[in-house]
Amino acid sequence: MAKEKGPRRPRAETPKGFRDYFGAEVAERKAMLDTIAGVYHRYGFDPLETSAVETVEALGKYLPDVDRPNEGVFAWQDEDQDWLALRYDLTAPLARVAAQYRNDLPSPYRRYAMGPVWRNEKPGPGRFRQFYQCDADTVGSGSVAADAEICAMLSDVFETLGLGGDYVVRVNNRKVLNGVMEVAGVLDPADPEKFAHERGIVMRAIDKFDKFGEAGVRALIGKGRMDESGDFTKGAGLSDEQADTVMGFMNAKAGDNEATILRLKTLVGGSATGQEGVQELQDIASLLAAQGYGPDRIVIDPSVVRGLGYYTGPVFEAELTFEITDEKGRPRQFGSVAGGGRYDDLVKRFTGQSVPATGVSIGVDRLLAALHAKGRVAADTRGPVIVTVMDRDRMADYQAMATELRRAGIRAEVYLGNPKNFGNQLKYADKRNAPIAVIEGADEAARGVVQLKDLYLGAKIAAEASHEEWKSQPAQTEVARADLVAEVRRLLGMA
């Protein structure tokens, strides 16, 4: 008989494409999201938290670059054979909520939402299958004042996070683009389905201007583009003249908003949709100027189109303009961290009635990375004061010290590992980024004193001081037990 083996041990691993967030990572993200929520709140937006799980039919199919239903989402069948899925963004659940509670919600309904979303996509470096989004939307207002408000709020978010001068919110309008498409002859208002395929290619090409450059975009909207590896992507097949019109639109950004708008007016010619779009941009620019948001913060820029198919009017994108060094050591702009726009048809899926809506989504991980790059991270990541254990029978005394410190508002803990090796206790304190170690052996206890070891100063001295200086232990002070709290407060700069 074969010898029985024990059961295989489970692997201690996150699933592929998922990750854990520890200590400072969680605290820093929370501090950032709290700041953003504060701005959203001040603008009158209310929080909404929908469940992570939705029915597949409610979610719909709005992921970019995805054609089959369920593709890109994590989905499963429940016991009633209904398909359920994890939400892939925060907009689809909002559309469901706006339809489900349409008789109870205030209208317009301003809401913000922050939380994880899930994408069943191939993971890659820095690309995870669960990540945070942070959205604000106004449902039920068709006024461009709602779009302008979203842009102003986004600008305030960056200012409040300490990124003033390092960002720009760029605004465009899908209606203007549609007007240009009409002029170029790839959109027939009488038959909107015609040329939809070509327009899709044009839009995606414009959206990738940063990546492909002007020549690449021109190739994609014309005959097609050969990439560096020799792969050929078929183009939209526009003639040179048609392509000129589209490229003219993309490059219409002028020295100021007025000049840009003038160019756009010419480009959309007689297209009623185009003219409407230009008027909306003009209104947005005026509203923002009246509130003091100059083009250094929010600017009309026709090269912004946003990839998602559901936008119907103004679209926005926020870019961080400072330079970082990429993985190959080359300087480049930090780039896009938020985007959004007007989507008037998402609620209609459920109710049959069109409900105007506009909003923005902030890429939380990218924005946090930007704050790191600029040294603007707000969370306090200092470790606790560590009360060391010199005598394990006196645990009650050590815990009482930690309690006293905590009651005085000081983060503190007792070392709870095996106390035998004191060096391990100090290594632990170091790993925790502890500012101070409290030491009380039998001798100190008898004399009514404790030793306070300033670990930050100690580390500095260890790195810089001579052997004599180091031996004199300037980072360690003896204080009366009764003065423990006061002396720790003083060392922490809280006094």
Residue 116 DSSP one-character state? E
Q: Does 416 bind its own copies (CB under 8 A)?
A: yes
CA distance 137 to 109: 8
What is the number of other CB atoms lying within 10 angstroms of the CB of residue 257?
23
Task: Tell me which residue of 313, 49, 43, 281 sits closest to 157, measured CA to CA.
Answer: 43
Q: Does 409 bind its own copies (CB under 8 A)?
A: yes
Q: How far is the CB of 405 from its own copies (least distance, A)?
A: 9
Task: Tell me which residue of 470, 475, 431 sits closest to 452, measured CA to CA.
Answer: 475
Write out the binding residues for its own copies, residues 56-95 only, by CB under 8 A. Answer: 57-58, 60, 74-76, 78, 80, 82, 84, 86
Taking the least distance from each CB to its own copies, the nearer of 94 and 184 is 94
Write out the binding residues for its own copies, residues 204-223 only, by CB under 8 A. Answer: none
Which residue stretch of 168-176, 227-235, 306-314, 428-436 sits at the interface with its own copies (rule: CB under 8 A)?
428-436
Taking the least distance from each CB to its own copies, the nearer of 108 and 314 is 108
Do residues 343 and 309 lie in contact, with contact meaning Cβ atoms separated by under 8 Å?
no
Tell me the number of residues near its own copies by CB under 8 A.
Answer: 97
Q: Does 127 bind its own copies (CB under 8 A)?
A: no
Q: Does 171 bind its own copies (CB under 8 A)?
A: no
Q: Does 48 bind its own copies (CB under 8 A)?
A: yes
Task: Tell me which residue of 368, 366, 365 sits closest to 19, measured CA to CA.
Answer: 365
Taking the least distance from each CB to its own copies, the nearer of 290 and 463 is 290
Q: How far is the CB of 182 from its own copies (least distance, A)?
A: 27
Taking the least distance from each CB to its own copies, the nearer of 177 and 429 is 429
CA distance 450 to 484: 7
Helices 209-221 & 240-250, crossing angle to 10 degrees? 160
Q: How far is the CB of 429 from its own copies (least distance, A)?
A: 9
Q: Does 232 bind its own copies (CB under 8 A)?
A: no
C-alpha to C-alpha distances, 104 to 107, 357, 358, 426, nearest whole angstrom: 9, 17, 20, 58
Task: Tell me which residue of 71, 142, 96, 85 sits closest to 349, measured CA to CA.
Answer: 96
Task: Tell me which residue of 303, 247, 300 sits closest to 278, measured CA to CA.
Answer: 300
Q: Does 397 bind its own copies (CB under 8 A)?
A: yes
Note the residue count of the chain.
Answer: 495
CA distance 145 to 284: 7
Q: Does 292 bind its own copies (CB under 8 A)?
A: yes
Q: Does 52 bind its own copies (CB under 8 A)?
A: yes
Q: How far is the CB of 474 from its own copies (least distance, A)?
A: 26
Give the contacts of 224 (CB within 8 A, at least 6 positions apart): 232, 233, 234, 235
Taking the least distance from each CB to its own copies, the nearer of 321 and 351 is 351
Question: Which amino acid makes up residue 70?
Answer: N
CA distance 352 to 347: 8
Q: Does 251 bind its own copies (CB under 8 A)?
A: no
C-alpha to C-alpha distances, 366 to 100, 119, 141, nearest whole angstrom: 32, 17, 30
Taking the least distance from each CB to its own copies, the nearer of 78 and 244 is 78
Taking the least distance from each CB to its own copies, the nearer of 59 and 491 is 59
Q: Does 413 bind its own copies (CB under 8 A)?
A: yes
Task: Tell me which residue of 442, 455, 447, 435 sits closest to 479, measured CA to CA.
Answer: 447
Of 148, 151, 267, 438, which lies in the binding site for its own copies, with binding defined by CB under 8 A?
A: 148
Which residue stretch of 134-142, 237-245, 306-314, 326-334 sits at the interface with its own copies (rule: CB under 8 A)?
134-142
Q: Does 393 bind its own copies (CB under 8 A)?
A: no
Q: How far is the CB of 380 from its own copies (least distance, A)?
A: 9
Q: Does 282 bind its own copies (CB under 8 A)?
A: no
Write out the binding residues for its own copies, residues 330-349 only, by CB under 8 A. Answer: 349
